Amino acid sequence: MNSQELFARSQQVSPGGVHSPVRAFKSVGGTPIFFSSAEGAYLTSVEGKKYIDFCQSFGPNILGHRDPDVQKSVLEILDKAWSFGACEPYSLELAEWMKEQVPFLDKLRFVSSGTEAVMSALRVARAATGRDKILKFDGCYHGHVDSLLVKAGSGLAGEASSDSAGVSEQTAHQTLVTALDDEEAYLKTLNDHKDQIAAVILEPLPANFGLLAQRKEFIDFVVNEAKQRGILVIFDEVISGFRMAFGGMAELLDIKPDLVTYGKVIGGGFPVGCYGGREDLMNLVAPAGRVYQAGTLSANPVGMVAGLTTLKKMKEVQGHKFLKERTERMTSRLNEIFQAHQVPMQVSSQGSLFWIHPKSDKPIRRVDQIPTQHGENFKKFFSECLNEGVYLAPSGYEVGFLSLAHTDEIIDSALEKFSNAAKKVFG
Ligand SMILES: *Cc1c(COP(=O)(O)O)cnc(C)c1O
């Protein structure tokens, strides 16, 4: 069966034919490709066509698909156990290893997704402060937690309204939304809701609505003003944690958030999330404290060993340094290609993340700075990349991911394909 036939069948059994919305290709058009296998930097479709993969499952595969060392550790654990629902040493090893890398990570709890990690961290923040409201930034994504599926409202300063059907206005009103890169708006929101805000949550490197790299002064300001008011600071490092550096953006920015959330790379391609931080806060979590949080498959041994093997290997080979260098080389070459073919887009990178965005003289730091015609240009480029055999995340607002499996040779080959695609569409 080909992708088209499989998608038709999928639409009969799943909403929109998918199990997570972006996979449906709605913003890039056409039928989503069905993949049957993956290895290193490559995906293979059910039709047998090979693609260089810059999506890498939206980040978890920092070593590439089915890294041989990770595969070995997974095969070994499969011979021992699949799930205990009881105490085991595997999560302890990963927890201790992570704690060693991150100076403010006093205690942590494993869960099964980034969403679950965020949801639990918010609960801890509310319990610790006795306050109800959470402040988030427009352009940051924190998973599909009800109270964070909100957009900036038009009423009171900062007050949010729901951005998804099924989220009650009451729940949405517990969240305040303010703009990135805007100290004044942030201060106004803080002052308008004195003594009501439990926590401010942010992606210290917003990477789920394009790549909206922030000024360090802005992040410092956000953190300092919150701390002065007894508001907890939650860094959502589900995408940046252990990817930008072992200590994530917190390390690069030299900031100690009160709580932090992780996911994606820490599971090495398996479903693992994590929240943690200050000891006094984490001791509020059951059974140590009064904040209930549990999970049948939490700290699943397969994810634990895959995660630990992934992180240890990154350390051993100094992966972050290589990834950053390779990504920078690729993006600067791609920018030359775009220029040569008069493509109205450019590419920016942070560490191993890159984003193809509309041409801009100034850095894009906020959602309202992304020109709206981007979708159309990206759509054409995306389709031609597919023809050439390069798979990008199927939306102009998603970032691209390099993995250690993207060797210089593979990147050169991808650049040639990008160049062909650019010439065809814009040349
Ligand atoms: C991916 C992501 C999430 C959600 O994680 P899931 O595992 O998809 O639930 C939350 N926050 C950030 C910053 C993310 O990148």
- Interval 382-387 mean pLDDT: 98
Q: Is the pLDDT of residue 156 over 60?
A: no
* pLDDT tens-digit series, residues 157-177: 678 888 999 999 999 999 999
- Domain count for the chain, please give it: 2
141 pocket-lining for ligand 1 (C-beta < 6 Å): yes
User: What pLDDT band is residue 401 in, cutting at 50, 70 and 90?
Assistant: very high
Give yes or no for a contact between 139 and 146, defined as CB atoms under 8 angstroms apart.
Answer: no
| 115 in contact with ligand 1, CB cutoff 6 A | yes
Of 262, 297, 316, the residue that ends a domain is 316
Does residue 236 line the site of ligand 1, with CB under 6 A? yes
Which phi and psi angles does 286 have, rounded to 5°?
A: -60, 140
Enclosing domain of residue 176? 68-316
Same domain as 78, residue 54:
no
Residues 54 and 171 in one domain: no
In this prediction, residues 231-248 reach a mean pLDDT of 98
Question: What average pLDDT does this structure show over 17-21?
Answer: 97
Q: What is the pLDDT of residue 372?
A: 84
pLDDT for 423 beyond 70:
yes
Question: What pLDDT score does 64 carry?
Answer: 98
Token pair for residue 339?
């220029």
CATH number (domain holding residue 60): 3.90.1150.10
Would you say residue 154 has pLDDT above 70? no
Give the residue, 327 or 157, on which the prediction is more confident.
327
Last residue of a domain, one of 316, 333, 367: 316
Same domain, 73 and 60: no
Please tell me the distance from the alpha carbon of residue 406 to that of residue 412, in angstroms, as a whole number: 10
- Whether residue 310 is found in the same domain as residue 324: no
Which residues are registered as beta bridge partners of 57?
Answer: none
Are 168 and 198 members of one domain?
Answer: yes
Q: Is the pTM of this model over 0.85?
A: yes
Residue 17 CA, ligand 1 centroid: distance in Å: 21
Is residue 236 part of the annotated active site? The answer reads yes
Residues 277 and 356 in one domain: no
Give CA torsion, residues 166, 168, 169, 171, to 10 deg.
-120
Confidence at residue 223, expressed as pLDDT on a 0 to 100 scale: 98
32 touches ligand 1 (CB under 6 Å): no
pLDDT digits (tens, 9 = 90+) for 328-361: 999 999 999 999 999 999 999 999 999 999 999 9
Nearest protein Cα to ligand 1, atom 6: 114
Kindly give the distance from the C-alpha atom of residue 134 to the centroid of ligand 1, in angstroms, as a whole number: 17
Give the mean pLDDT of the chain: 96
Q: Is the CB of 208 under 6 A from ligand 1?
A: yes
Instruction: Tell whether 10 and 105 lie within a shared domain.
Output: no
Q: Is residue 17 domain-shared with residue 128, that is, in the same domain?
A: no
* Active-site residue identified among 141, 275, 391, 397: 141
pLDDT digits (tens, 9 = 90+) for 51-69: 999 999 999 999 999 999 9
The answer to whether the CB of 263 is under 6 A from ligand 1 is yes
Give the lowest-confidence range in 41-50, 73-82, 145-154.
145-154
pLDDT for residue 151: 86
CA of residue 334 to ligand 1 center, whole Å: 28
Q: In terms of domains, do 239 and 367 share one?
A: no
Query: What is the pLDDT at residue 239?
Result: 98
- Is 408 designated active site? no
Active-site residue, 138 included: no
What's the pLDDT at 159?
81
pLDDT of residue 153 exceeding 80: no
Average pLDDT over residues 171-190: 96
- Please check whether residues 92 and 187 belong to one and the same domain: yes
CA of 205 to the centre of ligand 1 (A): 13
Query: Are the CB atoms for 212 and 367 separated by under 8 Å?
Result: yes
Residue of 389, 52, 51, 20 lying closest to 208 (CA atoms): 20
Please compute the mean of the pLDDT values over residues 213-217 and round it to a whole number: 98
Residue ending a domain, among 283, 316, 349, is 316
118 close to ligand 1 (CB < 6 Angstrom) = yes
SS3 178: strand
pLDDT value of residue 427 = 86
Q: Is the pLDDT of residue 311 over 90?
A: yes
High-pLDDT (> 70) share of the chain, %: 99
Q: Which of 57, 264, 300 to mutate to test the pocket of ligand 1 (most atoms within 8 A of CB)?
A: 264
| C-alpha of residue 357 to centroid of ligand 1, in Å | 21
The reply to whether 344 and 359 lie within a common domain is yes
Q: Give the separation between CA 303 and CA 271, rounded to whole angstroms.
A: 6
CATH assignment at residue 258: 3.40.640.10
Q: Is 143 in the pocket of ligand 1 (CB under 6 A)?
A: yes
Compute the distance from residue 243 Cα to the ligand 1 centre, in Å.
14
Point out the catalytic residue in the list 136, 256, 264, 324: 264
Q: Is the model's pLDDT at 262 over the cut of 80?
A: yes
pLDDT range class, residue 19, cuts 50, 70, 90: very high
- 148 in the same domain as 88: yes
CB atoms within 10 A of CB 258: 23
Mean pLDDT, residues 400-407 taken together: 98
